[in-house]
Structure 1
Amino acid sequence: MTNLIISPAWLLEHLNDPQVAIVDCRFSLGDPQLGRQQYEASHIPGAYYLDLNQDLSSPVTEHGGRHPLPNPEDLAQKLAEIGVNFQETLVVAYDDSRFAFASRLWWLLQYLGHDNVAVLDGGFTGWQKANYPLTNVIPQPQTATFVPQIQTDMVVDIHGVKSKKDLPEVALVDSRESDRYRGEREPIDKIAGHIPGAVNYPWQEVTDSTGYLLSPIEQRRRWENLATIEEIIVYCGSGVTACVNLLSLKLAGISTGKLYAGSWSDWISYM
């Protein structure tokens, strides 16, 4: 276990730790209400729910992509209400989608200046399979203090992508499935294809098929061709699953990754 990844067994031992806040991030792009419904039916004891659309994104506009970054003050208030004290509380995020949504929260907390955050290995499914406790009890709101310190260097907009993507010291990484990268299939966005110059590292390669992280050695091997690049700009369809690749980069010991938050859905809004 690394400090970025928490095992189910560790979390079981810390369910009642006041210094640990658990966040359920389950979500379905095809059915936006499903994640909250699943949470209300059954979740890890003490876990709060944060919704990708309502909490971890801001409203969609003409540009900025399908999941624009949330207003930092709004998210900070929500984090305080679930007991997260800035730079103190350990936040453990989980989903049942191979880190797709938990990684978004993991990245957002660091963007707000809070590094004490990890994702649950194996997610909700792994917790269930271990026969660990579940509940439908919704925990009460908390009173914590969260004053964000925005890390502006972690994010890149379309102008930054355009000015940097062809530089020899910069790599542009497309995190979507290979057929979407090649433009053979596009289930969500109006235009298929990828940003010129981007290389493809599908986000699903970070975990095995059951949602457990591949070893740190495998994470390093995955990125070995980009290990010496000065800056790695990562994108996906809307800035969500790209965060799984940013987590993988961190696990590989590479700290040069940045998020193109608007991603492909923002890029094509200017076409």
Structure 2
Amino acid sequence: MSTAAKPWAPLITAEQLQALLQQTPPPLLLDCSFDLADSGAGERAFLDRHIAGARYAHLEHELSAPKSPEGSIRGGRHPLPTREAFAEVAASWGLTPERGVVCYDQQGGPYAARAWWMLRWLGHGAVAVLDGGLAAWQAAGGPVESGEAAPAQPASSYPLGDTTMPTVQADTLLRQLGRVTVLDARAGERFRGETEPLDAVAGHIPGALNRFFKDNLGSDGRFLPAAALRATFEAMGLKPGQVVNQCGSGVTACHNLLALEHAGMNGSALYPGSWSEWSADPARPVARS
């Protein structure tokens, strides 16, 4: 794997990353660890231990736009910023189109997948998620450090490229129900409407299928082999380019998007507002099962 600007495979092993770090320039390392129940936990974990040379990417400060005013139904709990706004964030990290990026977290990859998807959405092809995260890196003998990241050397700007990551908005999705496959990445009990710890309404988008994002992983915390994932997705009736991915707020849905691409089933879309936006409008239909 090279740090050229051509698209990378979505996943990278710890051993491949060790080789990349010997090149000039080395890839930008983003630690995306986070906890939805404690927004400061990921940064504390980063300060305690992270891959040597990594910087911290905060889900709510850098991988999301500010929430809409109280009472608004737009954007959900983790609104997607504009591509222009995220390009400014990428430039602040020192990212240029020629430099590779490797994202990781300590939670099985959902937050790293969000960063991966957003960078691909920005038009940056040379980005991958570290398969197995920090645990896999340490198991391979990779060096770690603690404390604050070294100050970044910002780039003057990051030029927007063509995106290969489509999005779908709520009104469009409502019109398309029954004609596209909606894939919900939340845990089964939330999908079925048995419990809802984060949003005001329990349930799911009518007609959606459920694929809990953690089911993409094996017992070792790494993604399942591409062939195994493809067989599962095909058994669910998923077809490349005909899937709209959602979750609670557009974050863990990116894990399914990454798994689909790892399986060779490219072209799926993200509904960024996801259930937190959909369920906030009482006019939108809700299913429970």
TM-score range, shorter chain: over 0.9
Matched, 1:250 2:261: yes
1:46 is aligned, of 53, 66, 70, to 53
2:90 is aligned, of 59, 63, 79, to 79
Where 2:119 maps in the other structure, the secondary structure is helix
Matching residue of 2:10: 4
Matching residue of 1:163: 175
- 8 Å contact 1:171–1:229 — kept in the other structure? no
| C-alpha distance 228-130 of structure 1, shift in aligned 2 (>3 A) | closer
The superposition leaves residues 215-262 of structure 1 with CA deviations (integer Å, 9 ceiling, x where unpaired) of: 011111121143446511010000000000001111121123100000
Matched, 1:267 2:274: no
- 8 Å contact 1:96–1:211 — kept in the other structure? no
Matches within 5 A, 1:219-258: 219-225=229-235, 226-228=237-239, 230-258=241-269
Matching residue of 1:202: 212
- 8 Å contact 2:65–2:81 — kept in the other structure? yes
Matching residue of 2:34: 27
Where 2:96 maps in the other structure, the secondary structure is coil
The superposition leaves residues 195-227 of structure 1 with CA deviations (integer Å, 9 ceiling, x where unpaired) of: 011111111111124421110111111211434
Q: Quick one: which amino acid aligns to residue 217 of structure 2?
A: T
- In 2, Cα distance between equivalents of 1:234 and 1:194: 12
Percent identical pairs in the alignment equals 38
- 8 Å contact 1:174–1:181 — kept in the other structure? yes
The alignment's TM-score, normalised by the length of structure 1, stands at 0.93
- 8 Å contact 2:96–2:158 — kept in the other structure? yes
The superposition leaves residues 51-88 of structure 1 with CA deviations (integer Å, 9 ceiling, x where unpaired) of: 000000011111211000023333222222323112x2
Q: Quick one: which amino acid aligns to residue 96 of structure 1?
A: Q
1:213 is aligned, of 216, 223, 248, to 223
Q: Quick one: which amino acid aligns to residue 50 of structure 2?
A: H
- In 1, Cα distance between equivalents of 2:88 and 2:256: 27
Q: Quick one: which amino acid aligns to residue 154 of structure 1?
A: P
- In 2, Cα distance between equivalents of 1:94 and 1:52: 12
Matching residue of 2:115: 105
Q: Quick one: which amino acid aligns to residue 274 of structure 2?
A: S
Matching residue of 1:179: 189
Where 2:279 maps in the other structure, the secondary structure is helix
The superposition leaves residues 177-206 of structure 1 with CA deviations (integer Å, 9 ceiling, x where unpaired) of: 111111112111111110011111111111
Matched, 1:67 2:78: yes
- In 1, Cα distance between equivalents of 2:130 and 2:31: 10
Where 1:119 maps in the other structure, the secondary structure is strand
Q: Quick one: which amino acid aligns to residue 11 of structure 2?
A: I
- In 1, Cα distance between equivalents of 2:125 and 2:139: 29
Structure 2 stretches lacking a partner, 5+ long: 2-7, 283-289
Q: Quick one: which amino acid aligns to residue 143 of structure 1?
A: P
Structure 1 stretches lacking a partner, 5+ long: none
Matched, 1:55 2:62: yes
- In 2, Cα distance between equivalents of 1:229 and 1:83: 34
How many residues get paired? Answer: 268
Where 1:10 maps in the other structure, the secondary structure is helix
- 8 Å contact 2:241–2:269 — kept in the other structure? no
